[in-house]
Amino acid sequence: MAAEFVAKSLEIKGIVQGVGFRPFVYQLANKYSLKGEVANTSSGVSISIEGTRESIESFCGDLADKTPPLAYITKISVNSEPLEGFKNFSIVKSREQSFISTLISPDVSICDDCLRELFDPDDRRYQYPFINCTNCGPRYTIIDNIPYDRPNTSMKHFKMCKKCQAEYDDPEDRRFHAQPNACAKCGPHVALYDNTKREIPCRNPVDRASSFLKQGYIVAIKGLGGFHLAVDAENSDAVALLRRRKNREEKPLAIMSYDIDRIRKFAYVEPEEEVLLTSSQRPIVILKKKEPNSISEEVSPRNRYFGTMIPYTPLHYIILRHDFTALVMTSGNISEEPIAIDNEDAFERLSAIADFFLIHNRDIYLRSDDSIVKRTAGATRIVRRSRGYVPIPVFLKKKVPQILACGGGLKSTACLTKDNQAFLSQHIGDLENLATYDFFKLTINHMKRILDIDPEIIAYDLHPDYLSTRYAQKQVNIKKIQVQHHHAHVVSCMAENMLEGQVIGLSFDGTGFGTDGCIWGGEVLIAEVGAFKRAAHLSYVPMPGSESAIKEPWRMAVSYLYDAFGDKLWDLDLPVLREIDKKNLKIIVDMISKRINSPYTSSLGRLFDGIAAIIGIRNRVSFEGQAAMELEMLAGEETQATYDYEWLYEGLYKIALKPIIQGVTKDVEHGVRPSEISAKFHLTLIHLFSELCDVLRDERDINRIVLSGGVFQNSILLAGLITSLEAKGFVVFSHKKVTANDGGISLGQAMVAAAVAGK
Ligand code: ZN
Ligand code: ZN
Ligand code: FE
């Protein structure tokens, strides 16, 4: 019996253009002897196929399972059609002119095929630092407009040579319609300069730069999403010099190593971490240090981890192939400013830091920092969502209006929504200087353009002084909705987990403006997307000197001690009190007792800082969260012990800090090791909040817990609370797609605004 022929039409949505999808379909159709055609449309890709029922089924199976690495399918719809009698399978010209609603691919690390060619002396692109194909290379950072075609990218300045053009035109070639396609003959080039902007004449600038790195020099390297500052990670003098010149005292520096084998010399790599390291996103993965190791202590001082990545551009591969165990590859910026992307700008801003500049002439249109991830509690947690991930949207449960959400103040991102998609921007940084604010505005305009979004609603934080708030307030002809910071945290986690209805939200961070004008940060909310009620919080204590108390945790220590001991504070025998000048101490106690420039805070981040200072870890920090992080790093031993804790009911639960502070103080006075105190403190929080959730469940009959806020970057707390709450039968949701820190709140703001506007 002859097999029956049928005809089907398929509509594919998602990231399916500019990622080698049509050649993939073409090859698949030939594999199963199907006839028909494939074309780009305004909403994705459409396919017509004819063949036997079985082969069409196999075709559809492969379509979903074997998609090219950069493609990301969100929907396949299949319809039966009458037979047309196609003679072959072909890629046909686009049926429509507009490509507006398709998704743009993030930047993607070099693929295995290109990597092989890169180091093949017989290949015409041997050691060519800009080799790429439809499966790899720059995307988001080189696009200026849509559709994603070469004239709309920074490759428009390079006319393809005959060979490149032939590849570009051939549907069976790996480089069919690869917009950044280039070779040494026709494409971008690297050049080496000194820091007085004089070109260093040499045959091979990359090799020369590598030898400078070997000699301990600092080299600014232009990458995919911006400049890096590189030094040999094994050379302590060089790393120390970089820190000094960059004005970056202690914050860990990211390192790049050629491959997993080299990383294993200095860090442990679990199988899931290996998958992350080698993924096409190539994030920085936070890996546990091996001790001893040959990496300079200066790279990540007082920290148990190294932020490590492997090369993601051909240029990185060529450099790292020289025998470096690892290179420090930190963002090319001065302290908190945005990373440099432009050659001129880099010379201007980085010549006091870098000795040499390895630059190239392919422009970066939009900067994108390296992303950072880590594994905690059996899942991948995103610490910074940027290159490689952006602009893949977070898919939402329902369609929402077009909204622009402006984020917060620190680690900010913006978010634009359209249909059931939320597009978070790349990491923008701390909105505390003009350069970052300009980058914030530029990113919003850029995203509006390439995503074709014209927001009707703008969502922003309650904090009156955030630059993001001021930006939002200045906009005209747009509906404005203010969103409380900790509500936004909880809702961002609800959004990525597609939750609706009520949840108990634990929203823990350093700073967020409360509805009462106080600084919140240790909040338990009864939340739904459109509204929340505060159910519990850490008791308020004054923050003496306001912002200064963030930089000087000893001030918080004094505030907690005063709260717990009152004037008996002066009798305590604690290193933090001995180390601070008596006069200074007196001033701070006065500020606290008289509430001079001392706003109230319920922040859990500050409590971590205060405990760190009380047990003598540090009195001052060089970056936000440093003391808290070191307190976590210190937590050594297994412990079953906790400090006493209690809460009072005054319309809502107020968690008293006095018993915890008294317990910690007693331990310090009795010489208990800081590692034990830290472990006990962590366990106290885990017990305290699990019990509190139990109480709230009984009262309100809510069994779902959502964990969000920057404090959940603390792995001990995150893993401990998940375990403890799940043991009590709660269903616990945490962040996996966006960050728990303030980088995620723009998503929450957008969702809250959508719900509020829809009421
Ligand atoms: Zn490739
Ligand atoms: Zn060429
Ligand atoms: Fe926050």
**Tokens 């493609």, residue?**
71
Ligand 2 centre to CA of 129 (Å) is 13
Q: What are the boundaries of each domain within the chain? A: 5-91, 190-360, 537-733
Q: Check residue 510 and report its DSSP letter.
A: E
Ligand 1 centre to CA of 383 (Å) is 27
* Ligand lying closest to the C-alpha of residue 166: 2
Ligand 1 centre to CA of 317 (Å) is 13
User: In the predicted model, what is the mean pLDDT of residues 408-431?
Assistant: 95
**Is the model's pLDDT at 148 over the cut of 90?**
no
Ligand 2 centre to CA of 166 (Å) is 9
CA-nearest of 401, 396, 386 to 443 is: 386
* Ligand lying closest to the C-alpha of residue 513: 3
* Ligand lying closest to the C-alpha of residue 188: 2
User: In the predicted model, what is the mean pLDDT of residues 296-324?
Assistant: 96
d(CA 552, CA 546): 10
CA-nearest of 82, 129, 99 to 18 is: 99
User: In the predicted model, what is the mean pLDDT of residues 54-72?
Assistant: 90
Ligand 3 centre to CA of 706 (Å) is 14
Ligand 2 centre to CA of 175 (Å) is 11
Q: What is the pTM of this model?
A: 0.93
DSSP 3-state of 230: strand
* Ligand lying closest to the C-alpha of residue 605: 3
Residue-wise pLDDT for 682-730, tens only, equals: 999 999 999 999 999 999 999 999 999 999 999 999 999 999 999 999 9
Residue-wise pLDDT for 207-246, tens only, equals: 999 999 999 999 999 999 999 999 999 999 999 999 999 9
**CATH level 3 topology of 190-360:** DHBP synthase (3.90.870)
3-state secondary structure string across 699-746: HHCCCEEEEECHHHHCHHHHHHHHHHHHHCCCEEECCCCCCCCHHHHH
Instruction: Round the average pLDDT of the chain to a whole number and report it.
Output: 94
Residue 7, pLDDT score: 96
Ligand 2 centre to CA of 476 (Å) is 47
DSSP 367-420: --PPPEEEEETTEEEEEE--TTTTTPPEEEEEEE--EEE---SSSB--EEEEEE
Ligand 2 centre to CA of 124 (Å) is 9
Ligand 2 centre to CA of 159 (Å) is 8
When pLDDT is cut at 50, 70 and 90, the band that residue 334 belongs to is: confident
DSSP 3-state of 231: strand
Residue 42, pLDDT score: 73
Q: Which of these ranges, 370-384, 492-506, 612-626, has the smallest mean pLDDT?
A: 612-626
> What tokens appear for 317 in the block?
């591969």
Residue 99, pLDDT score: 46
- Where is 669: in which H helix or E strand? helix 658-669
Ligand 2 centre to CA of 181 (Å) is 7
**Is the model's pLDDT at 101 over the cut of 60?**
no
Check if the beta carbon of residue 381 is closer than 8 Å to that of residue 231. Answer: no
CA-nearest of 570, 432, 584 to 511 is: 432
Ligand 2 centre to CA of 382 (Å) is 38
When pLDDT is cut at 50, 70 and 90, the band that residue 736 belongs to is: very high
Ligand 1 centre to CA of 89 (Å) is 25
| CATH architecture of the domain with range 5-91 | 2-Layer Sandwich (3.30)
- For strands 72-81 and 89-91, give the pairing: unpaired
Ligand 1 centre to CA of 521 (Å) is 45
How many angstroms separate the first and last alpha carbons of the chain? 61
Residue-wise pLDDT for 229-288, tens only, equals: 999 999 999 999 999 999 888 999 999 999 999 999 999 999 999 999 999 999 999 999
**Is the model's pLDDT at 4 over the cut of 70?**
yes
Give the right CATH number for 537-733 from 3.40.50.620, 3.30.420.40, 3.30.70.580, 3.30.450.70.
Answer: 3.30.420.40
Q: Where are the alpha helices (DSSP H) in 170-323?
A: 205-214, 236-246, 260-263, 271-278, 314-320
Residue-wise pLDDT for 491-547, tens only, equals: 999 999 999 999 999 999 999 999 999 999 999 999 999 999 999 999 999 999 999
Ligand 1 centre to CA of 88 (Å) is 28
